[in-house]
Amino acid sequence: ASLMLAGVMAVSMLAGCSNGTKPDDGEKDPVVDSSLTGKVIAALDEDTTKNVKFTADSNLQAVLNKVVSNVGYTGAANITWQNLNNVDGELGDWNQLPNVGKSETTEDDKDVQKAIFVYSFAGKGMNTATVAKELAKKIDGHNIGKVSNGDVKWADLPEYTPTTSDKDGEFWYALDYAAGVATAEVSDAVTGETEYVVAVTVTRTPTKTYKADK
């Protein structure tokens, strides 16, 4: 009886293997965002994402959809940060981050800074992967700020402000950057050409840090 039971168990194990089943090790495959916005984020250059975390932003998406719906195909190429700001003033109030690349800490560094930028391009018969790469290039090439000797790229964004001091000693602000991304498209019913739009909001959050805290 023992031998028969062992045989049955062996057959059951082999059947389980043949069905391709395996024990659950508790690990799950990462969730991949297959939307156009998700593909744009995945196509961004490593230098762009080195200091900045990019994620899809549902609120920005709603704002962009509203603006694109209002202006239609003919106006989509001319959407600016002001158009989005007019719908939601909390998204940002400029198309570049202020106070980057400066030589000293200022009073503004203690505040959260926000900026918006919008880019678009037109195409016809393009697949999603190609569109995503083109929109990602627009983001990669954006000048995120200005300094006296040129433009500031994503990879140039400082992680800390210059050191200064107060009654408690030397301090600086550690800077955290987060970017929200949204995409939209609108087609011309006559020509079949599509205008693709990408919008990005960048938020810089400072944290005052003393030597004793580091």
pLDDT at 4 over 70: no
pTM reported for the whole predicted model: 0.79
Specify the pLDDT at position 181. Answer: 97
Whether 133 and 121 have beta carbons less than 8 Å apart is answered as no
Closest Cα partner for 211 from 149, 158, 166, 154? 166
**Which range among 13-22, 126-135, 190-199 shows the weakest confidence by mean pLDDT?**
13-22
> From CA 48, how far away is CA 35, in angstroms rounded?
20
**Which range among 24-38, 103-117, 171-185, 195-209 shows the weakest confidence by mean pLDDT?**
24-38
Encoded amino acid at 69, one letter? S
| pLDDT, tens only, 48-63 | 999 999 999 999 999 9
E-strand stretches of the chain: 52-56, 113-123, 145-147, 150-152, 164-166, 169-187, 194-210
160-182 b/e (C-beta count within 10 Å ≥ 16 → b)? ebeeeeeeeeebbbebebebbbb
For residue 115, the cross-strand partners are 202
More confident residue, 47 or 149: 47
> From CA 188, how far away is CA 5, in angstroms rounded?
71
Handedness of CA 139, 144, 146, 150 (dihedral sign): negative
